[in-house]
A and B are shown apart, each in its own frame.
Chain A
Amino acid sequence: MIEIHELTKRYGDHLAVDHVTFSARPGRVTGFLGPNGAGKSTSLRILAGLTPATSGTASVLGRRYADLPNPGLEIGVLLDASAQHAGRTGREVLRVAAETMGLPRARVAEMLDLVSLTEQEAGRRVRDYSLGMRQRLGLATALLGDPAVLVLDEPANGLDPAGIRWMRDLLRDHARRGGTVLLSSHLLHEIEVIADDIVVIGHGRVVAQGTKEELLHDDRTLVRAPEVGALAVALTAAGWTVERVDPADPTAGLRTDASLATTGQVALAAGLPLLELRAADGAGLEEMFLQLTADTQREAAA
């Protein structure tokens, strides 16, 4: 269980994290979604006690992070897989962590096995690791103490498709056994496929949160047709609101508040063929996320 309450971090006159409140519950995977620079990593660093908050609180299993007597056994944290001493071998990184937590040496071999790092790879220095291998090593460090809570910042970065699939299964399994998983990503799809609950953050603020079903639910209809313009006119004439999914791309189709059946009837009456007709589920979230991302990119370009 992770509870974040009114968390705020100010750098000069820039609010990196702005009164963020959410929780990640046991038995569920919580996705922390936002464009790059939205405040995800800062929030997670504050949670792990690495960055002091300006105001607000964050707790893990009901306690402040700093009050956890042996954090590695209760919460596994992977914030940046590249943040390792480059001159240490992968195995030594795990041994140091295991020794700090007071775990037997055998646990290191188990973890190497779990994340599929071979004996030979484990003996190499981290400077020679690919990002994917570092990510696996970081995950092994996080899982070492068999913690109830996992916090992972962009864990899919650098993993190949098989690796991403493997990690997804691992995290789902952790939640299924009653663990709490909080992971961040700047990719909507990544979060959609794994998360039970989603927290969307942009410009330091939580802009949406809820279960995946709630957030993806959309009553509107999505329709694609060769003659999008004519269909839009017909729907508008029938009294429905219509908008282009992507103003720049007519083949992306239209979203309308008319029902599936009504949309079909309007098209039939107008004599317009259809390419696709379905519920617009997920469109709202995608729209909002694209909007957030576009805002961020404009700021970066400015």
Chain B
Amino acid sequence: MTTLTTSPSAAAAAPGGTPSAYADRAAPAPIPFARLLKVELRKMFDTRSGLWLMASIGILAALASAAVVLWAPDDQVTYETFAAAVGFPMAVLLPVIAVLSVTSEWSQRNGLTTFTLVPHRGRVITAKAAGALVVAVAGMLVAAAVGVVGNLVGSALNGTDAIWDVSVSDFTAIVLANVLGVFLGFMLGAVLRSSPAALVGYLVISFVLVPLTMTLAAAQQWFADIQPWVDWNFTQSQLFEGLPTDGEYWAQLGVTTTVWLLLPLTWGLWRLVRAEVK
């Protein structure tokens, strides 16, 4: 292979006397975190899949309310029934938004743009996490509001007084459960960095694992005894029954969440900030 002359002397000045439009520019201000949060929230909903996810949550919430109004026995037309009916599609779909928010940077490869515009992956991922949190809480508030409307309409149609049987602490517990669900999606996204893999993982954990562990607990007493300490789905789902007050429950939730969510998430993020973006 021939090698032509290398010429450091080629480092002459720019072509004669043209004033540079780019000289002496002040360094721009850093990108504030609030802006990143806004951008990441926007990116959750500005794609076709994001749009349909949002739309389907709204549509399912409305359909669920209508179903309760139409078919629930009169004595069950209470706020709790509405909240549960509306909250279920949310609880299932909100984690999907969190999954896609992380994985699309790799699966759709727009990370190439995202991470060149913000060369601090930790900040971008933190903004995504904050965004997922905002969506989870806002989604629950929307569900609560739809439930209110459903309950008012339903009891008016029945000619009964509306029954408000969801306390603030119940609602807090449900929000917490959903936030945890969203972080399950977030963890799977960060660890797997692939939309199909993370979505399958989410479905397996939420819908395949639950009946399996239930069956196991019913058949084997030893598993039923340790289940609250090892089964995250089990401890998380307790929150939908209301806010537990005993300390042992919170210890169980802490242990299972640390083992199944925090540790893998930490590992996933450690790899994510070092991974090549191609």
Contact = CB atoms under 8 A, between A and B. Distances in A.
B6 A208 contact: yes
Contact of A51 (B3, B22, B277): B277
Interface in B1-33: 1-7, 10-11, 13-15, 18-23, 25, 27-31
Given A49-B115, A49-B119, A70-B30, 9 more contacts: A27-B20, A68-B119, A79-B112, A93-B113, A100-B114, A100-B117, A208-B4, A214-B7, A284-B4
A291 B2 contact: yes
B22 A85 contact: no
B215 to A, nearest CB: 39
Q: Is the interface of A mostly helix, strand, loop or mixed?
A: mixed
A45 B276 contact: yes
Interface of A: 23, 25-28, 45, 48-52, 65-66, 68-74, 77, 79-80, 82-88, 92-93, 96-97, 99-102, 125, 141, 148, 176-179, 197, 200, 202, 206-211, 214-215, 284-285, 287-288, 291-292, 295
Contacts of A45: 276-278
B31 A48 contact: no
Interface in B76-123: 104, 108-120
Interface of B: 1-7, 10-11, 13-15, 18-23, 25, 27-31, 35-36, 38-39, 42-43, 46-50, 104, 108-120, 274, 276-278
Contacts of B20: 26-27, 177-179
B153 to A, nearest CB: 35
Contacts of A206: 6
Nearest to A288: B2
Given A27-B15, A51-B276, A51-B277, A177 B21 contact: yes
A288 B114 CA distance: 38
Contacts of A208: 3-6
B185 to A, nearest CB: 18
A152 to B, nearest CB: 12
Most chain B CB atoms below 10 A, which of A28, A85, A87, A285: A85
Contacts of A125: 48
A101 B117 contact: yes
Contact of A87 (B3, B38, B49, B112): B49
Nearest to B51: A87
A173 B200 CA distance: 50
B4 to A, nearest CB: 4
Given A27-B20, A48-B116, A69 B28 contact: yes
A178 B11 contact: no
A253 to B, nearest CB: 19
Contacts of B11: 23, 25
B71 to A, nearest CB: 36
A118 B112 CA distance: 25
B4 A83 contact: no
Given A71-B119, A177-B21, A84 B276 contact: no
Contacts of B42: 96, 99
B115 A86 contact: no
A77 B21 contact: no
A73 B116 CA distance: 11
A287 B2 CA distance: 9
Given A82-B109, A101-B117, A291 B1 contact: yes
B205 to A, nearest CB: 25
A287 B214 CA distance: 72
A179 B6 contact: no
A284 B3 CA distance: 10
Given A23-B11, A84-B108, A85-B108, A96 B28 contact: no
B104 A100 contact: no
A109 B112 CA distance: 23
Contacts of A176: 15, 18
A79 B109 contact: no
Given A49-B116, A71-B116, A100 B31 contact: yes
A85 B4 contact: no
B2 A84 contact: no
Given A69-B27, A71-B119, A96-B39, A209 B277 contact: no
Contact of A26 (B4, B14, B276, B278): B14
